[in-house]
Each structure stands twice: as structure tokens, then as C-alpha cells.
Amino acid sequence: MRSLARAAVILLALQTANGFADAPPEPDGYRMDDYRSPTPASLKGAKPVDTQEAAALSREGSFVFIDVLPRPPRPPNLPPGTVWHDAPHDSLPGAIWLPNTGYGALSAEAEAYFRRVLRTVTRADPDKPIVFFCRRDCWMSWNAAKRALENGYHRVYWYPDGTDGWSEAGLPLQPVEPEP
């Protein structure tokens, strides 16, 4: 009994050290709101990776990295003729930015955009490894990775620390534009 209690204490300490003690359970469906909140530690069918693993996959060069951070919309109440410039977005070197494709419910247009770009960047190969990311505590990447799995992609990776973890590790970010 004593060894079982000790094992439970060790497991809790490891979970806490790795940030999993407060991780919510993995839902059955997509996250539909409160996207900037703690994410699960897992995604059934996908492989979560930490910053060290993501950097190694990036160096390897055969992985497609997809950033799904949303793009801020143009404010609807701007006076006519007002010039609107999108805020710059920095991402992992070589990443493809698919803004607004990590929401729980996508418009038909956003869904078609997601599928079309995935088909293009994977050359329609469902076994091409894809790494989805956003920022830490952001369900957008979790949703997008889940969506890729449901669209028949088999080698899906999820980088939950995203650009936050990347920059905290001292790794470079670079400006990126949305994929057309």
C-alpha cells in the first residue's frame, strides 16, 4: 500500500512539473468557445510534441508546420476611407499560416480553404507529417489538428506551446503572411 501511495505522489509531481496536473480532459468534439484557456495534454490520433521535439522536427525538414493563429478582423465601425493594416504576425521559420481555421465551427469557405491548403502542402499525401500550432493555452491548434485527423491525415503532430514556447526557448520567429 505504501509503494502505491508513493507512486501516486511521484506521478502527481511529474504531472505538475510538466504542466499536466491542471490539464482539462480531452473532449469528444471540437472546442467551441473560450479558445484561450488550458488545453488537454493529449489529442487522440495525434502526437503532442514539446519545444525540443518541434525544433528537431523543424530541422529535419520533411514536416509541414501550420500556424492557425486567428487573424484579427477589420473593425466594423471604421469610417469609410480609413486605411486598415493587419497586425504583423511572427511565426516559426518556414511555417504556413492558415488563420481562422482552428475555430470549433468553420464556415463552408474556411473549411474549403483548410482542406485545399492541406491538400496542396502535403501534395495530397495523407501520410505527410503535419505539425499544428498556435500559442500556448490555445485550442485553435488542437481543433485544427483534430480536423486534419478527421480529414484523413495520419501523421498529425500537435505543438501545444506554439510560438510562445518557441520564442521562450530562444528560437527565432519570422514574419509570415496568410496562405492565399
Residues 113, 65: Cα–Cα separation, whole Å:
16
Rg (CA), the chain: 18
Full-model pTM: 0.85
Percent pLDDT > 70 in the chain is 88
Q: Which of 8-12, 33-37, 143-147 has the lowest mean pLDDT?
A: 8-12
Of 157, 162, 156, the residue nearest 35 (C-alpha): 162
Question: Residue 113 and residue 90: Cα distance in Å, rounded?
Answer: 21
pLDDT digits over 101-110, tens only?
999 999 999 9
Q: Which of 9-23, 32-46, 93-107 has the lowest mean pLDDT?
A: 9-23
CATH number of 43-71+88-180: 3.40.250.10
All structural domains of the chain with their residue ranges:
43-71+88-180
